[in-house]
Amino acid sequence: MVKIEKIRVTDKDIWICPCGNQPDQDGFLPCNPDGNEVEPLPEQWREPLYVCAKCGRIIHQDTLEVVGQQYFPHLLH
């Protein structure tokens, strides 16, 4: 049985990545399925995915599941 990795959420709705990253540290950025940062516009951001700016884990916003990892994400900023 494969364990599904998920983002931990505090009682104040703060995401904590398995790597320890939080919004007030490196943060999480909207991304495409490849884990590359995109502008949060409908034509670029078609799925509610975020990439951890520290470790590159790709997180689905609705389920908080880690759905992939991009070790070298392309970041816009």
CA distance 50 to 53: 9
60 CB neighbour count, 10 Å cutoff: 17
Provide the token pair at 69.
């990892």
Range of the domain at 14: 1-77
What is the share, in percent, of the chain residues with pLDDT greater than 70?
96
Helix (H) or strand (E) holding 53: none
Could you tell me the pTM of the whole model?
0.90
Tens of pLDDT, residue by residue over 5-36, are 999 999 999 999 999 999 999 999 999 999 99
Total domains in the fold of the chain: 1
The span from the CA of 47 to the CA of 35, in Å, is: 11
Q: Are 47 and 59 in contact (CB under 8 A)?
A: no
